[in-house]
Every structure is written in structure tokens, then in C-alpha cells.
């Protein structure tokens, strides 16, 4: 991750998840990431609707020049990047892997802009629709309205290996010629 906001939000998310694959949505406290809220959004995992925004921060809305609630996330991307971003969103939500992507966009005056996109899953709960969170941060400090997003790079951020407790094995003779090895903690 190149953008400091992405690193900070990922570190907070990672702390909240602990040893789980992802934190529960209720564990994310907005006050703890107050200075990042303008760049943070939440998506509904609804492929038919293009993964609509449930909530979007003020800076994200300003970058796109409108309120994003209920608008399609994948529709922000140019046709050549749309399938890839939809696959990335699916992996993040279903496999509960974080993803970070480099994005280029075109401003209203035709100049290119570079952004970093971070997508983070929430823990799936029974009888609740899937959702995921993310952060979209521009590298340039000037505020311009952007459109025509294209993916330039992306990668998944894998889970840290969980610490395994050494196990002592005990050999049990259950029946003649048949051995069972029972693990003990």
C-alpha cells in the first residue's frame, strides 16, 4: 500500500479482526478513524445492482461530483476495467481477502489522476446481507471531479499465518493392528 490513508485504515481493520478472517461490521468504530471518514465507503454485495454504495464519505462524493448512496460502484469504471473490479469485489467479499488497487481516472478538464483503492471485507453474519468497506484516496492534493476509472494494478493482501499451538501426540492402541494418534494441547 502506497497511500498513508490506506495503510492507516488497513492497520485499524487488521487490529479489529484479530485472529478472524475479517472483523464484524459492528466492531468498526467511526470515531477511531475520524480523519479518514471522508475517504471511506461501504458497499452492498449485490452483483445485479453493481455493488451499490450504502454509505460514502464526503471526499469520495466530492471526487465524483454527486452523492453516491445507492449508485453502482462498478459503473464508475470504464468498460475494460469493469469485469476485473467486479471479480476483485467478489473475492474480497466471498474469500474475505483484502485487496489494494492502483487506479487512474480522468478529470473533467481531461487530466489524468492517480488514486489508491483499498477494499476490506466484513465478517459474514447469518441472515444479514454481505457488505464490504473500502477507502478511495487520490495521490494528488488538488480537488477535481473524476470519472472514467481504470484499474492499473491490484493485489490481494493475504492473511497472516495463524499461530499454531504445538501439539503433543499420544499413541493409543484401540484395536490390534489399528493405531490412533490423538492430539493434545
Q: What is the CATH number of the domain that holds 67?
A: 3.30.450.20
Split at pLDDT 50, 70, 90, the class of 164 is very low
Q: How much is the mean pLDDT over the chain?
A: 88
**Entry pTM:** 0.83
Measured in degrees and rounded to the nearest 5, phi and psi for residue 29 equal: -100, 115
Domain count, the chain: 1
Widest Cα–Cα separation across the chain: 82
pLDDT number for residue 7? 96
For residue 96, the enclosing domain spans 4-184
pLDDT digits (tens, 9 = 90+) for 14-45: 999 988 999 999 999 999 999 999 999 999 99
Measured distance CA(113)–CA(62) in Å, rounded: 14
- 180 pLDDT above the threshold of 70: no
> Is 24 exposed, middle or buried (CB count within 10 Å of its CB: 0-12, 13-18, 19+)?
middle
Please state, in angstroms and rounded to a whole number, the distance separating the CA atoms of residues 6 and 19: 21
Amino acid at each position: 500500500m502506497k497511500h498513508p490513508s490506506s495503510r492507516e485504515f488497513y492497520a485499524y481493520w487488521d487490529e479489529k479482526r484479530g485472529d478472524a478472517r475479517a472483523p464484524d461490521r459492528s466492531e468498526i468504530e467511526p470515531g477511531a478513524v475520524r480523519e479518514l471518514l471522508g475517504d471511506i465507503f461501504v458497499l452492498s454485495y449485490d452483483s445485479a445492482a453493481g455493488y451499490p454504495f450504502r454509505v460514502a464519505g464526503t471526499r469520495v462524493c466530492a471526487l465524483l461530483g454527486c452523492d453516491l448512496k445507492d449508485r453502482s460502484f462498478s459503473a464508475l469504471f470504464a468498460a475494460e476495467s469493469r469485469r476485473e473490479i467486479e471479480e476483485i469485489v467478489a473475492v474480497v467479499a466471498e474469500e474475505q481477502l483484502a485487496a489494494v488497487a492502483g487506479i487512474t481516472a480522468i478529470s473533467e478538464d481531461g487530466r489524468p489522476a492517480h488514486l489508491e483503492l483499498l477494499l476490506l471485507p466484513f465478517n459474514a453474519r447469518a441472515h444479514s446481507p454481505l457488505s464490504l468497506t473500502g477507502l478511495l484516496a487520490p495521490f494528488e492534493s488538488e480537488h477535481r471531479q473524476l470519472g472514467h476509472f481504470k484499474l492499473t494494478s491490484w493485489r490481494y493482501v493475504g492473511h497472516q499465518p495463524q499461530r499454531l499451538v504445538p501439539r503433543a501426540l499420544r499413541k493409543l492402541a484401540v484395536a490390534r493392528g489399528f493405531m490412533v494418534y490423538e492430539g493434545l494441547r
